[in-house]
Amino acid sequence: MSLLTTIPSQAIPYPLVGTMSHTAQGYVIPRKSTYTSLEKATLFSEVFSTSRPESTQFMLFGRIAPDWILRYPLSLTIVPYDLGGYLVSDERVCVYGMGETKSEALDEYKSMLVDLFEELRSSEKVLSPRLLEQLKHLRSIIKRG
Partner 1 sequence: MPIKKHDLRQCLLQKFRFEEVPGSKHEAVSLFVDDKKVATTRFSRAGKDISDQLLRLIAREIWVQLGYLKEMYDCTKSRDDYLQHLQNSEHIQ
- Residues making contact with partner 1 (CB under 8 A): 79, 81-85, 87, 89, 94-100, 104, 108, 111-112, 115-116, 118-120, 122-123, 126-131
| Burial environment of residue 70 by CB neighbours within 10 A (0 to 12, 13 to 18, 19 or more) | buried
Smallest distance, Å, CB 137 to partner 1? 14
Q: Smaller CB distance to partner 1: residue 33 or 89?
A: 89
Q: Smaller CB distance to partner 1: residue 74 or 87?
A: 87
Q: Smaller CB distance to partner 1: residue 26 or 129?
A: 129
Q: Calculate the CA 110 to chain-centre distance.
A: 7
Dihedral, CA of residue 6, residue 109, residue 71 and residue 13, to nearest 10: 0
